[in-house]
Amino acid sequence: MRKNLALILLALSLTLPGFAKQKSPRAAGPIHLSRDGEKWAEKTLRKLTLEEKIGQLFMIWCRAGFLNVENPEYLQWRDDMQKYHIGSFAMTVHVDGPFLLRSEPYEAAELLNRLQRDSKLPLLVAADFERGVSMRLQGTTVFPHAMAFGAVGSVEDAESFGRITGQEARAIGVHWNFFPDADVNSNPANPIINTRSFGEDPKQVGDLVAAYIKGAHEAGMLTTVKHFPGHGDTATDSHLGVASVNGDRAHLDSIELPPFRQAIAAGVDSVMVAHVTVPALDADPNHVATTSPAVVSDLLEKQMGFKGVIVTDALDMAALTHLFAGNIGRAAVESFKAGNDLLLIPADLDASYEAMLKAAQSGEISRQRLDASVLKILKMKASLRLNESRTVDLNALATAVGKPESIAFGQQVAEAAITLVRDNGKVLPLKAKGTGKAGFPYMTKEETHNNTVAILFSEDVRLDSGRAFGREFRARITDARVIYVDPRIAGGVTDEVLKAVDQAQTVVAAVYVIPTAGKVGNSMSMADSTGALLGQVLEHAGERTAVVAMGNPYLASDFPKIENYMCTFSNATVSEVAAVKALFGEIPIRGHLPVTIPNVAERGAGIARAAQLAQGGSSNAQN
């Protein structure tokens, strides 16, 4: 019997591709390139055809969710992987208009395992987990935006942020995070970085970046600093057009570049290059940083000494595609020639692959240069020991993802980040009324007491923004009036809102404005209709209104009549809960602004408040 079983297994190993090579999944460990791993990378490189080498340079989307093996979407990924010899995938999820359709950890892990089994070589899987795995998957640890960590200022917290994200990412089969963000957000009008940055102080940004890298590496996750050579002092969303970094070289050396230098010193695995023009480094108007040898090869590699993998920002972004509208495949070629190793999300995979292949065949791209980049990528895979085991253990998810202590840590950071910028002493802390008399679910507005009104301004009332805030608020004041407003309905509800405001003793305005990639007319200001309504609310009840910035902290610059102003630096659910707790004096307020709000407050400002000692009383302090 044993002899027959052995013969069957031998037959399978000879007939099924990769059968003998598959090993049992194992837990991720710290990143380390062993000598055996180096030998595997070098040996694998020698065996690859030119076509296979080109394919290793490309990373394409994979939208996680349950898919049948015969689903056309899955078949397309598998066919592209095999036809173009794809070496990497970027995991995300599907979207439906403004809705991000987050998936489940098990679904994502099973799908990634399947792709790994279908691939000749182990795949690198990356993701944009700027706020942790919860950006894409349910049931994982929720973190606030990076700027909230800047408001706390703890390198230990940043290290834990990296470690927990790494643990959860590796458990589902994602090896590489496109984070931390090393941009110094020195431009308040920046429409795409803003709260994605740790702040405006280069030293603090660099310290938090380095700490995140350390924590991530301990969990076995590869890291990326972005967006080189700095996207913080820009006023354009590079998903929509060309942004320009206009500082001189001295400014770059003192503001933009220091966090990247700290990241390199901390051992960051990769650097993502931005589609921005940098006249101080390259005066050619047809060059963005991604296609500029002066920025990539000269500055990053030679002057700054970076030896790791250099990855482009997504090649399908308008800032790059408009430069190559007549020959879209050349975007990949010019980016590679500039010094990038990995080509992320080409706008046209077939055209980009063929252009790269043609350039390599003609000698425009040397075989030596091609081999050097492919070897970097193979060594990266070996450092993760993917050559030994490429799949993950689905049974381990229940113990590795969404640990209670991790979830509690995410909430703790959100609470520590709350920053009180203005307080007229007449509104805060709010007084909870305890358990109120149960009401019917469809009470009319005339039946509510209307003493406290919360107006939640979001981009779209159909989104989740404000839902957690509203639930937490009503849990404390059961008869509070909670009104959801977005730009489409603001004009129609203005009279109703102002009537409620005039009748109320206390008003809370929570404003949800966060950086959103690729949004037409992208701006960090409120839309005209909602901005006008907030202005009228302040005209009617400025001294009894508390404004909470659920994201963009610079909001107060547009509304000088704000008398009570609180910042969370994030719209994550943990920040919503933290904001309500702070409003009611349930937690101490001790955050400090990591940025300067023009005409309002300097970086480092923050009014400290102790937690409320008893119902109806509080202890205050200011620094």
CA distances from 386 to 21, 23, 380 (A): 11, 10, 9
Lookup: tokens for 114: 């399947």
Contact 533, 490 (CB under 8 A): yes
Please provide the size of the chain in residues. Answer: 623
Contact 365, 359 (CB under 8 A): yes
The one-letter amino acid code at 245 reads V
The one-letter amino acid code at 104 reads E
Residues 6 or more apart in contact with residue 419 via CB below 8 angstroms:
151, 553, 566, 567, 569, 589, 591, 592, 593, 605, 606
Q: Which phi and psi (to 5°) does residue 111 adopt?
A: -65, -45
Contact 448, 418 (CB under 8 A): no
End-to-end CA distance of the chain: 79
- What is the rounded CA–CA span in Å between residue 523 and residue 501? 28
Residues 6 or more apart in contact with residue 257 via CB below 8 angstroms:
229, 230, 304
> Which residues are designated catalytic?
313
3-state DSSP assignment of residue 409: helix
Alpha helix segments (H runs only) across 119-154: 146-152
- What is the rounded CA–CA span in Å between residue 32 and residue 394? 24
Residues 6 or more apart in contact with residue 69 via CB below 8 angstroms:
114
- What is the rounded CA–CA span in Å between residue 453 and residue 464? 19
CB atoms within 10 A of CB 535: 15
- What is the rounded CA–CA span in Å between residue 432 and residue 420? 19
Residues 6 or more apart in contact with residue 502 via CB below 8 angstroms:
540, 541
617 forms beta bridges with 614
Buried residues in 84-98 as b, exposed as e (16+ CB within 10 A): bbbbbbbbbbeeeee
Whole-angstrom Cα Rg for the chain: 26
Kindly compute the dihedral angle of the four CA atoms of residues 425, 429, 432, 433, in this order, to the nearest 10 degrees.
Answer: -10
Strands of the 343-344 sheet, one edge to the other: 176-177, 124-127, 88-92, 58-63, 343-344
- Cis link prior to 175 (omega < 30° from 0)? no
Alpha helix segments (H runs only) across 299-365: 318-321, 330-338, 349-362
- What is the rounded CA–CA span in Å between residue 260 and residue 107? 35
Contact 292, 252 (CB under 8 A): no
225 forms beta bridges with 271
3-state DSSP assignment of residue 333: helix
378 forms beta bridges with none
CB atoms within 10 A of CB 300: 25
93 forms beta bridges with none
